[in-house]
Amino acid sequence: MSKSSIYWVGMDVHADKIQVAVYRNTELPPCEEYESQTDKRSLGRLLKRLKSLPGELRCVYEAGPCGYELHRYLTSNGISCEITAPALIPKKAGDRIKTDRRDARNLGRLYRSGTLTMIYIPDEEQEAVRDLVRAREDAVEDVRRKKHHLGKFLLRHGHRYRDGKQWTQAHDRWLKAIEFGNTSLKTVLDGYTLALELANEQLARLTQAIEEISITPKHQKYVAALMTLRGVQTVTAMTILSEIGDMRRFGKARDFMAALGLVPSEYSSGNSVYRGSVTKTGNMHVRRILVESAWHYRHRATASSRIKARRAGQPIEVIRVAQKADSRLYIKYRRMIDRGKPPNKTIVAIARELAGFIWAIGWKAYA
């Protein structure tokens, strides 16, 4: 076979096995189909078998729970490999049969036709920071659950805090003063209290680790630039950087908004036009924190001492973008609310525009 041949390799990857389908040039049936295990020796045999093909190799598999290890293994050994977004793989409406073999064949054919959408693959350091940020998200949710368990337990037994907001120092003193005569109830209270303390300690440790990474030379410049925006502080900025990476891979602000699922869905055909809620596709972690940050823009922009300190020493073009966001997003919020738009929908619209300002600052910071 000619050395100029191109082999398109579709791989259906699971934790214990990899189904492989190999297409040569434009030939319709696969020239090879086989299954490989995922242990070290089996991957070595898979690599040797792929390298024995007399031509250019192009491999692809779906993003999934197995991560990027196979991609890094193949690329480090000189084999081209990409990862496609599962939600964007074209599917036939009438195809109701799904097997690993058919999936591998389908990936190989679609890759050869150029109809797959590839994902951004972070380097190992960026992935490690991303896992740290996501672990903190899990810790925040864990604290929320522990508070819920403790609060509902006390409510069931007639203890309700009525002297202000919960989870303050005063509320903490109130919790410590509660006593149960029943031994079982006392054991439950001690267990819930200890669990909450441990969850708070874990959250504090992860937050501290993120803050320490944010001041390293690799991240400090970009974190400081993003923090010129209201509602964007260290954890938010690090979430954006770890999930998105280089903002310049998005050519337009709208591309970045779409990658976060903040653009309206649409179903239009003929003379009918229907635009629905936002798509909620793409990176949900960044979408969530931008919606949280957008709530800051319901207040009139004021140059507080904290904002001034965060903007001090930043490039003038970055500060101008942040100042423009201050005025534009507040005005947009007031106009939408005054027209009777629900606050939650208004905030999503603000988050979409906030994503545009983040994109602009990202481009200027990376320049």
pLDDT (0 to 100) of residue 303:
74
Q: What is the mean pLDDT of residues 352-359?
A: 98
Mean pLDDT of the chain: 95
What is the spatial distance between Cα 158 and Cα 173, in angstroms, rounded to a whole number?
17
pLDDT (0 to 100) of residue 273:
81
Q: At residue 1, does pLDDT exceed 60?
A: no
pLDDT (0 to 100) of residue 271:
80
What does CATH list as the number for 5-113? 3.30.420.40
Q: What is the mean pLDDT of residues 328-351?
A: 96
As beta bridge partners, residue 230 has none
pTM: 0.92
pLDDT (0 to 100) of residue 289:
97
Q: At residue 197, does pLDDT exceed 80?
A: yes
In tens, the pLDDT along 109-128 reads 999 999 999 999 999 999 99
What is the spatial distance between Cα 245 and Cα 39, in angstroms, rounded to a whole number?
31
Dihedral sign (CA 352, 353, 354, 359): positive
> What single string gives the DSSP state of each residue in 119-172?
PP---HHHHHHHHHHHHHHHHHHHHHHHHHHHHHHHHHTT----SS-SSSHHHH
Q: How confident is the model at residue 2 (pLDDT cuts 50, 70, 90)?
A: low
Give the largest CA-CA distance in the chain. 85
pLDDT (0 to 100) of residue 3:
60
Q: At residue 54, does pLDDT exceed 60?
A: yes
Q: At residue 216, does pLDDT exceed 80?
A: yes
Q: How confident is the model at residue 267 (pLDDT cuts 50, 70, 90)?
A: confident
Long-range contacts of 298-306 (CB under 8 A, 24+ apart): 298/330, 298/333, 298/343, 298/347, 299/330, 300/330, 301/230, 301/326, 301/327, 301/330
> Per-domain residue ranges for the chain?
5-113, 125-213, 218-366
In tens, the pLDDT along 296-314 reads 999 988 878 899 999 999 9
